[in-house]
Each structure stands twice: as structure tokens, then as C-alpha cells.
Chain A
Amino acid sequence: MVEEHRASVAPRLAQQVARVGLWGATALTVGILVFIVVFVMQRGLGAISWSFLTDAPQRSGAEGGIFPTIVSTLYVTLAAVVVATPLGLGAAIYLAEYTTEGRLSGIIRRGTESLAGIPSIIFGLFGFAFFVTALGMGWSILSGGLTLGVMILPTVIRTSEEALRAVPREYRHVAQSLGASKWDAIRSVVLPVAAPGVVTGIVLGIGRAISETAAVIFTAGVALATPRSPFDSARTMSVHFYTLTMEGISDEQAYGTAAVLVVTILVINLAAYTLMRRFTRSLR
């Protein structure tokens, strides 16, 4: 009896200990995120004002605002999206609608996965060698945007393909039985249904583009003036923040820039999450 009792206590004790440990680890992880957000906000929100967002920086960013870096970030990100969306969506449509799993789709899939695994500094090197130097675009919005476009391509392909595959097969059958061609069925029935999922992929790509530093610093450059053309060099918010901290220019300005970055990223992720939820609900 005693033996049996002991044997059954140990696993139950282990279960209790494990439960506490596992939940503790989860709480720690969430705690780290909360700490990061609170830390940045507490120190940075004070620096943010209307003029901080709309003024040009003075004395290399030690004073004034961050307006040019916001504009630069928008332009570079826009260029990246303009490149990645048609290519990514096209690739996703091909993979989801036009091909069965075979050698070709296998190669495409592996290529996409490999591209997703390449470190951003390699994209920086590539963008510098290819867009900046070989194609003669120089440090510019165009070079930075194209580099980031290549970098976020796998995100857009993967999310869009998943969204297209989530659309029930019957939708296509019904459209085609009503006389629509395959492409018409995709364009007017499948794509509208999958749109929120596709947009989620693009939004996630935008988030990555805005956060990125290593790939843009060597392609878009570090010029602090407001860019006037796609061939102008541009400093994004992330690069500006990096420069402010590493060169010890101004802690207050750095915290302010960090706060703007973090708020932007939070909003973008919330948007992506909301879109995705709406999408999965609409298919239920």
C-alpha cells in the first residue's frame, strides 16, 4: 500500500512543478515584451510632439524633429511593396491555382524558403553590389526599396498562398460551371475572398521593411535631407535611430524615435492580426 501510494505521488508532484514552471516561462516571455514596450514608451513618449514629427532635424539629429526620416521610411517601404506585391501575389496564384505539387513547384518552394532564411545583412551586401553599384542607382530610395522588396517577397508569397488555399474549392467550381474561365474565376471570385489574407501578408512585409536596418543602411544610405526624387539617398527611421544611439548624438531624440518606431510596429501588427481574424471568420 505504502509503495503504491508513493509511486502515485511523484508523477503528480512532477505535474504540479512542471505546470508552475511552464506557466512561469510563458509569463516571463510576455513580461519581456511588456518590459520592452513600457521601457521605450516611458522614456520616448515625452519626446514626441507634433513638431517632433513634422520638423527637420537640427545638428545631425541632436535637436529638432524626424520628419525627413518618416518620409524616407514611407517612400522606401512603398517601393518595397510595389515590387513585392505583384511578384509575390503572382507567385502565390501560380502555386495555389495553376500547378500541382511537382518538380517545378518544389524548386520554387525551396527557393522561396531559402530566400526567407537569408540574413538581412546579406540583402544589404547584395543590394549594394547590384542595385547601388552594378545598376548605377547609387544610394537611393529606389535601391533601398528594391532590396527590401526582394527581402519581403517570401513573406508575401507564403501568406498569399495560404490565403488562396483557404478559399473553398467549391467557389472555383461554381464560377467555372457558370461559364467563367479559370482566370476569370480566380480574379472575380477567389481573389476577392482571399484579399484580406493577401493584405495581411503585405502588411507583415511592411512591418519588416520599416523595422529593417542592416539591409537599408547600405542601399538607401544615410542622408538626412527630405528626399525629392526616387534617386535621392534617404535615411529611414530605423537607420536614424541606430545612428543616434551608436554615435551618441542624443538619448532623448533616440528614445523619441524608438517610441515612434515601436508604436508604428504595434499598429501594423494589430492591423495584420485584425485582418487575419476577419478573414478566417469570413470563411467559417
Chain B
Amino acid sequence: MRDRMIERMLLLAATSAVAMLALITIFIFREGLPVILDHGPLAFVAGVTWAPSLGQYGLLPMIAGSAVVTAGALVVGLPLGLACAITLAEMAPPKARTVLKPTIELLAGVPSVVYGFIGMEVLVPFIRQAPLLGGPGYSALAASIILAVMVLPTIISISIDAIEAVPRSFREGSYALGATQWQTITGVVLPAARSGIVAAVILGMGRAVGETMAVIMVAGNSVQMPHSLLDPVRTLTANIALEMGYASGAHAQALFATGIVLFVISLGLNEIAGRVRGRSRASVVVAADAPADAEAAAEARAELLGAPAMRPRLMKPSL
């Protein structure tokens, strides 16, 4: 009797996250949808003029701004993050790893205002003065670089999980064929971990699109279609945060509508990442359930990966 009641209460708690998600959806849409419908969804999303005082709400410059800084963040952050993940998962000795991994995870704990501040104090003046760069310094480039650092922990930790989920025998098979460690990584491990790494990139993208304070502090925030990386840009998040303090009426609703666009993008990216990741988990489970005999399994997997089947002998590369 008491146990049944407790179970009901726990179920209630368990649904809280879903309930909150529903509540957030309802309130953001209730406030923002009228403006989108008034303007027509296409004019709202594809309009190039954002002039709240004239009642004109076109979001394209901000959508372009978010796209540019997110792409920039990934161009810098993906190679760096993937390299760190490979080093930690495949190369670092256990002792170095136990120090390095929590250290890198600390990057996720640094408040975004601190990232923004360092960007203002160090990166922006650097871009302004550096040869070949120049401009106001407050720019898409500055935002991209700061965001690249901010998405590193996401990319690194999820990529490490993906790389570690690749069964050991995959590597042994490759070494047995005489491959070097680097050949094994590029030819066997990374392809096998591909979907997890893709999920890491998409989640990193979600973080970059959603970041607010750090971007406001370095991106310059002028409403314009970005023509160069050195131009100031305004992102969707910045648009909300900058004007929310004083907006009212239709203007405030337009900011909630900006929130709807951001909300849909974030949920979409999250959903895609979840699906890609789910697939990778499933494939690893299948691999782990493969034939119990280790050698036979290794052979089967090597064949699956397109490598000629050979009996693995060496456990380690001969380097």
C-alpha cells in the first residue's frame, strides 16, 4: 500500500522533465506565435529588416549570424576536439589520462561570461591589430573562436565515449595486419566510431547555436547580413538577450518568436544527435553480441569493415 503510493510519487517526479518541456513549449509559443502569424512565417524568418520601432521583424540577419559563428566554431573546434579525444582514448597512458580528462572537462565549468570577458580583453584587440585581420575586432571571427573553445568539452567527451565503445578486437585485428597505430585509428577506429562522432558534432553545434553571453560580449551585435568574418554579427540568442531588458508589446513578442526559432533549431539538433547516437549504441551492442570466440569475432568484424580476414596474432603495434 505504502509502496504503491511511493511508486506513484516517483512516477510523478519522473514525468517532471517532460512536463517542464511541455510548459516551456506552451509559454514560448503562446507569447511568440502571434507575431510570427501576423508577419507570415516566411517574412519573419526570411525578412532582412529588424526595426522594432517600425514594427518590422525580419530575422534573417540573426539566423545568418548564428549560422556563421556556429560553422566557424566547428571548423576550429572539431579538429581540435577530435584530436584531443583520439589522444585521450587511444594514446595517453592511463595515468596521464586520469589527469588530462578532468582537466579538459573543467572547460565546461568555466562560466560563459568569463569566456566572453577573455574574448573581449584578449581576442578582440588581437583581431583588431593583427596583420591581415583588422576591422573592429568585435566580429564573427572572435565569436567563432570563443565558441570553438566552449564546444570542445562536448565534442571531446562524446567522441571519447564513441571511440571507447569500439571493441578492442577491431584494433587487434588491424595491428595484426601490420598497420601502424595511426593507420588503425584512421582506417578502423574512427570509421567504427563515426556515428558517435557525428552526434558529438551535432551536440556541439547545439551548444554553439544556444550560447548567449559569451557571444554578446565579442560578436559586435550589429544587425546586418554578415559579409566577412571580420564583420560584427548578431546571433539569435544575442537578439533576445540584448533587447529583452526594455522590450514591450509586439517587440517583446517578437523576441519570444526569436526564441521559438532558436527552440526549434535546438530541439531539432538534439533529436538528430539522439537518433544518430542511438544507432551507434545499437551497432556496438550488436558487435558485442557477436560470436563468443574472440578470434572468430575479430575475423568477422575485420570482414565487416572491409579488411581481408586474417588471424590476429600481435596484440600491439610493432612500433
Which residues of A approach B to under 8 Å, CB–CB? 11-12, 14-15, 18-19, 21-26, 28-30, 32-33, 36, 39-40, 86-91, 93-95, 98-99, 107-108, 110-126, 128-130, 134, 150, 153-154, 157, 181-183, 207, 210-214, 217-218, 238, 241-242, 245-246, 254, 258, 261-262, 265-266, 268-269, 273
Determine whether B62 belongs to the interface, using a CB cutoff of 8 Å to chain A.
Answer: no
Contact of A213 among B15, B100, B112, B206 (CB under 8 A): B112
Asked if residues B111 and A213 are in contact (CB atoms below 8 Å), the reply is yes
Return chain B residues, CB-CB under 8 Å to A22: 83-84, 86-87, 91
Residue of B whose beta carbon sits closest to that of A113 = B274
Picked from B79, B81, B262, the residue with its CB within 8 Å of the CB of A122 is B262
Contact of B203 among A14, A117, A153 (CB under 8 A): A117
- Asked, given contacts A262-B110, A268-B109, whether A117 binds B269 with beta carbons under 8 Å apart, the answer is yes
Is B24 a contact of A122 with CB atoms below 8 Å? yes
**Is B220 an interface residue when CB atoms closer than 8 A count as contact?**
no
B139 at interface by CB-CB < 8 Å:
no
A247 CB to closest chain B CB, in angstroms? 12
Q: Is the CB of A19 within 8 A of B91?
A: yes
Tell whether, in the assembled complex, residue A15 and residue B106 are in contact, meaning their CB atoms are under 8 Å apart.
Answer: no
12 sample A-B contacts, Cβ–Cβ < 8 Å, listed by A number: A25-B80, A90-B16, A93-B13, A114-B21, A115-B21, A119-B211, A124-B244, A129-B30, A183-B2, A214-B241, A262-B111, A268-B109
Max count, chain B CB within 10 A of own CB: residue among A28, A211, A212: A211
Q: Are A182 and B3 in contact (CB under 8 A)?
A: yes
Chain A residues, CB < 8 A from B10: 90-91, 93-94, 98
Contact of A118 with B83 at beta-carbon distance under 8 Å, contacts A153-B16, A214-B212 already known: no
Task: State whether A245 touches B241 (Cβ < 8 A).
Answer: no
Which of these binds chain A: B45-53, B113-121, B280-288, B304-312? B113-121
Question: For A26, what are the chain B residues with a Cβ–Cβ distance below 8 Å?
Answer: 83-84, 87-88, 92, 100, 104
Write the chain A residue with the least CB distance to B216.
Answer: A246
Specify which chain A residues have a CB less than 8 angstroms from the CB of B302 in the assembled complex: none
Beyond A23-B87, A29-B156, 16 extra complex contacts between A and B, CB < 8 Å: A11-B183, A26-B84, A33-B110, A90-B10, A90-B14, A98-B10, A118-B21, A118-B24, A124-B244, A125-B28, A129-B27, A153-B20, A183-B7, A212-B111, A242-B213, A245-B120
User: Judging by beta carbons under 8 Å apart, are A265 and B210 in contact?
Assistant: no
A265 near B110 with CB under 8 A, answer yes
> Which A residues lie within 8 Å of B16 (CB)?
87, 90-91, 153
Expressed in whole angstroms, the Cα–Cα distance for A242 and B216 within the complex equals 10
User: Residue on A with the closest CB to B122?
Assistant: A39
The answer to whether B130 has its CB under 8 Å from any CB of chain A is no
B206 touches A117 (CB 8 A): yes
B11 within 8 A of A: yes
Please determine whether B20 and A115 come into contact, CB atoms closer than 8 angstroms. Answer: yes
Q: Which 7 A-B pairs have the closest CB atoms?
A: A90-B13, A119-B210, A25-B83, A111-B18, A117-B270, A211-B111, A94-B14
Docked CA distance A94–B10 (Å): 6
Chain A residues with Cβ under 8 A from B83's Cβ?
Answer: 21-22, 24-26
Which one of B12, B149, B240 lies within 8 Å of A125 (CB-CB)? B240
Number of interface residues of B (CB under 8 A): 88
| Contact present for A29 and B80 (CB under 8 Å) | yes
Contact between A261 and B111 (Cβ–Cβ < 8 Å)?
Answer: yes
**Is B255 part of the binding interface, using a Cβ–Cβ cutoff of 8 Å?**
yes
* Chain A residues within an 8 Å CB radius of B303: none
B:100-142 near A, CB below 8 Å = 100, 102-107, 109-118, 120-122
Contact of B244 (CB < 8 Å), options: A87, A114, A119, A218: A218
Asked if A121 contacts B212 (CB within 8 A), the reply is yes
A119 contact set on B, CB distance < 8 A? 209-212, 237, 262, 266
Verify A114–B240 contact, CB threshold 8 A. Answer: no
Shortest distance from the beta carbon of A24 to any chain B beta carbon, whole Å: 8
CB neighbours of B292 from chain A (8 A): none
Q: Which of A107, A122, A207 has the most chain B CB atoms closer than 10 A to its own CB?
A: A122
Tell me if B295 counts as interface (CB < 8 A to partner A): no
**Complex contact B117–A245 (CB within 8 A):** yes
Q: How far is the CA of A245 from the CA of B115 in the complex (A)?
A: 12
A266 touches B106 (CB 8 A): yes
- Could you tell me if B106 and A125 are in contact, using CB atoms closer than 8 angstroms? no
Q: Could you say which residues of chain A place their CB within 8 Å of the CB of B152?
A: 29
Least CB separation from A116: chain B residue: B270
B114 touching A15 by the CB < 8 A rule?
A: no
**B182–A112 touching, CB < 8 Å:** no
- Give B164 Cβ to nearest chain A Cβ, in Å: 16
In angstroms, how far is the closest chain A Cβ from the Cβ of B70? 12
Say yes or no: is B319 at the interface (Cβ < 8 Å to chain A).
yes
Least Cβ–Cβ distance between A125 and chain B, in angstroms? 5
Give the complex CA separation of A119 and B112 in angstroms: 12
Determine whether B9 belongs to the interface, using a CB cutoff of 8 Å to chain A.
yes
Q: Are A18 and B182 in contact (CB under 8 A)?
A: yes
From residue B173, how far is it (CB to closest CB) to chain A in Å?
A: 17
